[in-house]
Amino acid sequence: MTDTSAQPLFRGVITALVTPFRNGEVDYAAFEKLIELQIAAGVHGVVPVGTTGETSTLSMEEHRKVVELCVRKVAGRIKVIAGAGSNNTAETLELAHHAKAVGADAVLVVAPYYNKPSQEGLYQHFKALNDAVQIPVLLYNVPGRTVVDMSNDTIARLAKLPNIVGIKDATGDLERISQQRLLIEGDFSYISGDDPTLLGYMAHGGHGVISVTSNVAPAQVVAMYEAAAQGAFDTARQWQDKLITLHKVLFADSSPSPTKYAMSRLGICTDEVRLPIVACSQGVRPQVDEAMALAGLEVEPA
């Protein structure tokens, strides 16, 4: 059973950063601006080049440059957990080696997608990473995207490896954290990857969220997390009521197109995405505007 006195390595609001684009290229200036806005709002960490960062459409050179720039810009003020997932184990190791070399605090590694590995294949994939690169690893379980679900037993088995320090759980299944806490000993980080269920996840013993919504409303997500972390669930529910519509509408079109549209309304970056994602549809845009207003965000004139 979990040692309740242990402290996890990662906790709080950790933003799954978008990768801003302008005219087909990565907009590094907008990316730096985004990082500063996140830090000013009180987030506890950032994830460059994750799913929300459209990593699947970045070149290897762009991927590396975004991670390097993020580490340099953050300059130790908050945690940097670099996306390093691939369905190719050798490429995962290459990305993790680079993240360590440039000073990232950890890597976020998704369960290999498309290949549909067995539970033993999942274990051996992450064990190879654990053995090859001395950097903290957050597992990322998102069966809705990968078509493979890491079982609780596999997660518990991996948690025994020294560099596997936590999980980003994007299953939306709130039973799983309670089951995992019974199986895993020590200071494992339980991080939600599902904004709408963060409140419940915290109540079940979670330590925070890797958030899409905090690209748009970082201070609000931080306020909700802090209330929940302090056990002030009445206050946390009030924030949940303000944010739940935004949480949902940011996935009303292919992510991260609604998020980038929302950020363009805040003057942070353009709404540009890369194929096969297309810009947020005209039908969804008014829904995003309404959700932002409900969350208390002031937008620039259209």
Give catalytic residues, as residue numbers.
140, 168
Residue whose pair of structure tokens reads 């680079």 in the numeric block:
98
**28-41 and 218-229 helices cross at what angle (nearest 10)?**
30
Per DSSP, the residues of 124-138 read HHHHHHHHH--S-EE
- Residues 82/70, Cβ–Cβ less than 8 Å: yes
The helices-and-strands tally (H runs, E runs) of the chain is 12, 10
- Residues 296/243, Cβ–Cβ less than 8 Å: no
Residues in the chain: 302
Which two tokens mark 43? 């987030």
What's the burial of 185, exposed, middle or buried (CB within 10 Å: 0-12/13-18/19+)?
middle
Rounded Cα–Cα distance for residues 108 and 139 (Å)? 6
Main-chain dihedrals φ then ψ at residue 126, nearest 5 degrees = -75, -30
